[in-house]
Amino acid sequence: GESVGLHLPTLSVQEGDNSIINCAYSNSASDYFIWYKQESGKGPQFIIDIRSNMDKRQGQRVTVLLNKTVKHLSLQIAATQPGDSAVYFCAENTNAGKSTFGDGTTLTVKP
Amino acid sequence: NAGVTQTPKFRVLKTGQSMTLLCAQDMNHEYMYWYRQDPGMGLRLIHYSVGEGTTAKGEVPDGYNVSRLKKQNFLLGLESAAPSQTSVYFCASARRGPDTGELFFGEGSRLTVL
């Protein structure tokens, strides 16, 4: 279940597979980007961030890629687990004090 | 450490009624935000505050008012509720501007306007 370049509202993957979630941002002045995970009935929680002077950043099982040329952000989750099922949002930030969120992708992990 | 606490968690209103949602954070954060989330959509910013005594309009401010009289509290008011304001409302805070770090969210307040 990979989707390169396209934002999809839903993504379904098998447990153990890798997941790629895409996001297009709109503001060329955005210089800081965050991926959030929102589980059902809860508020969004921070997963990983990246600044505009970087094109890749890795965390535990997650990697964020930034392509400023086409204003595209992606989140890669390695060895996806059932606990990864959630809605994932990207957020773009400027120094103007506001975060703007994308529409979100619902990730479903099948056992 | 409670983080960001929203009250109430659930509320049902009739059209035209008023109410206030309270957000409290115990992290000494400067910035606070109110977002609304509708089914299948991302979070849309209603109002925000960059410090005690200051507020600013976000993307969808109409029909809402806010106050930040104390640094730790950010209140969202609906003066005359409308069915279009049925939504889940999230409060968030940040240590400084969102370009310096993540937002910390509350658990949400589900509002239904009949």
- Type of residue numbered B114: L
Decide if A45 touches B, using CB distance below 8 A. Answer: yes
**A24-34 burial, b for 16+ CB within 10 Å, e for fewer?**
bbeeeebebbb
Of B56, B92, B97, the CB nearest to A95: B97
A-interface mutation test, from B7, B32, B43, B45, most A Cβ less than 10 A away: B43
Taking CB atoms and an 8 Å cutoff, what residues of chain A touch B35? 101
Cα of A6 vs its chain's centroid, Å: 12
- Give CA–CA dist A103/A73, Å, rounded: 13
- Give CA–CA dist A74/A21, Å, rounded: 6
Beta-carbon separation of B43 and A45 below 8 A: no
Where do we find the tokens 């969004």?
A44
Q: What is the pLDDT of residue A2?
A: 34
* Chain A: residue whose CA lies nearest to B38: A103
Decide if B74 touches A, using CB distance below 8 A. Answer: no
Of A43, A49, A96, the CB nearest to B107: A43
- Residue A107 pairs in a beta bridge with A11, A86
Where do we find the tokens 């955005």?
A30
**Which tens digit of pLDDT belongs to each residue from B24-77?**
999 999 999 999 999 877 899 999 999 999 999 999 999 999 999 999 999 999
B-interface mutation test, from A21, A98, A103, A105, most B Cβ less than 10 A away: A98
Where do we find the tokens 């094109």?
A55
**Which tens digit of pLDDT belongs to each residue from A2-52?**
333 457 889 999 999 999 999 998 888 888 999 999 999 999 999 999 999
Cα of A67 vs its chain's centroid, Å: 13
Residues in Cβ contact with B40 at an 8 Å cutoff, skipping those fewer than 6 apart: A9, A103
**Which tens digit of pLDDT belongs to each residue from A41-97?**
999 999 999 999 999 999 999 999 999 999 999 999 999 999 999 999 999 887 666
- Give CA–CA dist B7/B108, Å, rounded: 9
Beta-carbon separation of B98 and A32 below 8 A: yes
- Give CA–CA dist A84/B101, Å, rounded: 23
B93 near B2, Cβ under 8 Å? Answer: no
Q: What is the pLDDT of residue B60?
A: 95
Q: What is the pLDDT of residue A3?
A: 35
- Give CA–CA dist B58/A95, Å, rounded: 15
Decide if B21 touches A, using CB distance below 8 A. Answer: no
